[in-house]
Amino acid sequence: MAKVNVIKMFPVVAFCAALLAGCATTARTADIISYDSSSLSNVTRVTDNHFRKDSVRVSPDGSKILYCEANVTNVDASVSFDQFSVMLLRDASLSSKTPVVTDPSFGPVWYDDNAGFIYVVYEGGSSKLVKSNITGGGKTYVTRNSIGDNDSRPSIKGRDILCETGINGVRHLVRLKDDGSEVTILGEGNSPSWHPTENKFVFIKDGSVCEMNLENNQMTQIYSAATDKNRNIIESCSQPSYSRDGKYILFAKGANTFITATTKTSNLLQTMFTKSRVETQRQHLFLMNENGTGLTQLTSGNVDVFSPSWGVGNEIFFIANVQNATEIWKAQLSMIN
């Protein structure tokens, strides 16, 4: 099994001049997406404009991408949801984009017709669910008023919407129709995503991946996030989704990564370079069977990889902050047919 590194950035060493007092600076380690070729292949970048991106969603036919973009290029800058707006790639393999929502907006998801979509718009200090279409535009409110505090992360199947909202400071799962009717609070959790054929969905609760069967309202924890208080590590999973055949679940999770840091110490007499291994935590992609078995880490390295989305077949799309740029990437899952 071959280990592959994609896109390297030359180390940057901060220069510090000092007279008699020493000055220590740390070099930035090369930004690399690492992966095992037995799990992933054909890893390539789709976009290249350096703007901050989030919430990638591939159309049901795999030909187009909706995503969110903010006019911010610094990967370390804090960006709020209301700085994003919805963009469209009419060809999922090309970087040419079309703004489809100019208002502050987030979390687009496709209808099955490959044209209609639902997103979250921020108006008057609150968030609301809205329907639109990439062919005719327009704006039809699903909810005229927020269900709770910061409605977000919708998922659509037929006319049924799942989303999350805040109630008394806690994120809750909500089900409703796409005309805003039949609103039902399902319990605590976030990031819900429908199963393609069955009446159930996957979501996150307390950092773990869970599933709720709406036939009997039974909740099952599929992947339990690890906690190591002695090492101050608390895993947190995000953005789970089923494959289009329902056999697999793709999600992002904080993963421990060891990087090599170079420290430079200088004075009038000498300059010394010291290398050390530093443990940090990055978000990376994971894949598991629908029942939680066969967990496989797909990406690694000193980068953050997040917002995974299924394409058609065994293709996946995601966002990674490589070379100081937060861009959309795509890859083939080598491990599944």
Check if the beta carbon of residue 108 is closer than 8 Å to that of residue 88.
Answer: no
CA distances from 25 to 76, 218, 248 (A): 19, 53, 44
What pLDDT shows up at residue 335?
82
277, with CB counted inside 10 A (0-12, 13-18, 19+), is exposed
- Specify the amino acid at residue 165: T
More confidently predicted of 58 and 268:
58
Q: Which amino acid is at 206?
A: D
The percent of residues above 90 in pLDDT, for the chain, comes to: 66
Q: Residue 278 pLDDT more than 60?
A: no
Residue 274: predicted pLDDT: 63
Lowest mean pLDDT among 151-155, 180-184, 224-228, 309-313: 224-228
Q: What is the pTM of this model?
A: 0.84
CB contact at 8 A, 316 and 335: no
DSSP string, 88-152: EESSTTS--EEE---SSEEEEEE-TTSSEEEEEEEETTEEEEEEEETTT---EES-SS-SSEEEE
**pLDDT of 270:** 64
pLDDT confidence of residue 164? 96
**Predicted confidence (pLDDT) at residue 65 exceeds the cutoff of 60:** yes
Query: Within its chain, how far is the Cα of 48 from the centroid?
Result: 18
91-104 per-position pLDDT tens digit: 999 999 999 998 99
19 pLDDT above the threshold of 50: no
**With bands split at pLDDT 50, 70 and 90, how would you rate the model's confidence at 22?**
very low
Residue 29 has pLDDT above 60, yes or no: no
Higher pLDDT, 87 or 268: 87
- Residue matched to tokens 């994609």: 6
As a whole number, mean pLDDT of residues 307-313 equals 95
Assign 11 a pLDDT band (cuts: 50, 70, 90): very low
Q: Is pLDDT of 9 > 50? A: no
Least confident among 164-168, 238-242, 267-271, 313-317: 267-271
The closest alpha carbon to 191, from 244, 245, 155, 150, belongs to 155
Higher pLDDT, 252 or 266: 252
Task: Name every residue whose Cβ is closer than 8 Å to that of residue 199 and which is 6 or more positions away in sequence.
Answer: 213, 214, 215
pLDDT for 2 beyond 60: no
Model confidence at 276, pLDDT cuts 50, 70, 90, reads: low
Q: HSE of 209 in the Cβ direction (CA atoms, 13 Å)?
A: 27
3-333: CATH topology: Neuraminidase (2.120.10)
Higher-confidence position of 176 and 232:
176
Higher pLDDT pick, 22 / 311: 311
Mean pLDDT over 281-304 rounds to 92
pLDDT at 217 > cutoff 70: yes
pLDDT for position 23:
31
pLDDT band at 137 (very low <50, low <70, confident <90, very high): confident
The confidence band for 189, taking pLDDT boundaries of 50, 70 and 90, is: very high
pLDDT of residue 8: 33
* One-letter amino acid of 189: G
Per-residue pLDDT at 233: 62
Average pLDDT of the residues of the chain: 85
Give the residue extent of every domain in the chain: 3-333
Average pLDDT over residues 235-256: 92
